[in-house]
């Protein structure tokens, strides 16, 4: 008998204080938690400025005030935040900067921090070296996250980025049992999300949910693209997934996102019933 029931999953969405959607609107729509997105594509020093911390901290307090949990914090990304740099001095600085942001996440009571294993583009001839560098960074950062009561969740990425399929994700986390995985359903351009979930298994501890056309990332609300949501939910049930159903989709009205969740759960339940 299945013990995981998708209808009982908590609902989450990415959010930053630059979003047009208010935290109150998210709560009223039916969301339970958020993934806090910080500013990206900035230098390490710019991101870590105290004024930015104050901004983010104010957002965290506002979220908690309306009853939204800070489930996760997305660590900054961009070319200057690339943990796969082969310049050891530059990579050490990126690792150190990520640890400082993890200090913030710990104080905010987050469950996990999501990290990109690289920026892009990555040329074929440098891929092996960049994978090794990223794997070492993940080994270090996952341990530092655990010391802070956090889990480091490595996200699958599209195109030439590292972590573009299940094989690469598993290679990136093979040196540490403390790293987990964030499954982004619209980043997989060479395999289906359900295949990725079944292959990576229970190391998947958080999600970025959205739909796409299979050609490139789109971050559509589920139902607009090609994702087979019944298969995706079945794969998540099979691995015992119990984290939130965390959306990272573009939308105008948060109620539309919640409605899409109920729709795909209904589709899944009909799919399961058809086999009885």
Question: Rounded distance, CA 245 to CA 237, Å?
Answer: 12
47-56's contacts with Cβ under 8 Å and 24+ in sequence apart are 47/76, 47/81, 47/97, 47/101, 48/97, 48/100, 48/101, 53/104, 55/17, 56/17, 56/104
pLDDT in tens, 91-148: 999 999 999 999 999 999 999 999 999 999 999 999 999 999 999 999 999 999 999 9
CA-based torsion, 60, 63, 64, 69: positive or negative: negative
Whether 6 has a pLDDT exceeding 90, the answer reads yes
Task: Give the pLDDT band (50/70/90) at residue 2.
Answer: low
List, for residues 194-222, the tens digit of each pLDDT value: 999 999 999 999 999 999 999 999 999 99
Domains and their CATH numbers in the chain: 9-273 (3.20.20.150)
pTM: 0.97
Could you count the other beta carbons within 10 Å of the beta carbon of residue 207? Answer: 29
In this prediction, residue 3 has a pLDDT band, given cuts at 50, 70 and 90, of confident
Cβ–Cβ < 8 Å for 203, 173? yes
* Per-residue pLDDT reduced to its tens digit, 144-177: 999 999 999 999 999 999 999 999 999 999 999 9
Query: Is the Cβ–Cβ distance between 185 and 232 less than 8 Å?
Result: yes
CA distance 247 to 258: 9
Beta strands in the chain (DSSP E): 11-15, 33-37, 69-74, 112-115, 151-155, 180-184, 204-208, 245-247
Predicted pLDDT at 199: 98
pLDDT at 19 > cutoff 90: no
pLDDT in tens, 221-252: 999 999 999 999 999 999 999 999 999 999 99
Task: Check whether 1 has a pLDDT greater than 80.
Answer: no
- Note if the bond before 121 is cis, omega within 30 degrees: yes
């Amino acid at each position: 008998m299945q013990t995981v029931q998708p209808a009982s999953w908590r609902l989450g969405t990415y959010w930053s204080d630059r979003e047009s959607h208010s935290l109150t609107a998210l709560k009223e729509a039916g969301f339970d938690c958020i993934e806090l997105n910080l500013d990206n594509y900035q230098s390490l020093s710019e991101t870590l400025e105290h004024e930015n911390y104050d901004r983010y901290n104010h957002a965290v307090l506002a979220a908690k005030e309306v009853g939204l949990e800070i489930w996760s914090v997305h660590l900054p990304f961009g070319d200057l935040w690339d943990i796969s740099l082969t310049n050891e001095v530059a990579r050490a600085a990126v690792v150190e900067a990520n640890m400082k942001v993890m200090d913030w996440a710990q104080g905010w009571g987050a469950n996990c921090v999501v990290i990109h294993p690289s920026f892009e583009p990555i040329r074929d001839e440098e891929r092996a070296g960049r994978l090794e560098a990223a794997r070492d960074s993940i080994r270090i950062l996952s341990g530092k996250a655990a010391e802070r009561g956090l889990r480091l969740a490595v996200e699958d990425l599209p195109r030439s980025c590292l972590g573009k399929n299940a094989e690469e994700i598993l290679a990136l986390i093979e040196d540490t049992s403390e790293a987990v995985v964030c499954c982004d359903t619209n980043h997989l351009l060479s395999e289906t999300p359900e295949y990725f979930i079944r292959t990576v298994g229970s190391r998947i501890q958080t999600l970025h949910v959205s739909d796409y056309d299979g050609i490139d990332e789109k971050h559509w609300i589920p139902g607009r693209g090609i994702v087979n949501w019944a298969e995706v939910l079945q794969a998540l049930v099979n691995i015992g997934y119990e984290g939130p159903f965390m959306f990272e989709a573009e939308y105008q009205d948060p109620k539309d996102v919640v409605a899409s969740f109920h729709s795909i759960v209904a589709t899944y339940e009909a799919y399961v019933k058809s086999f009885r």
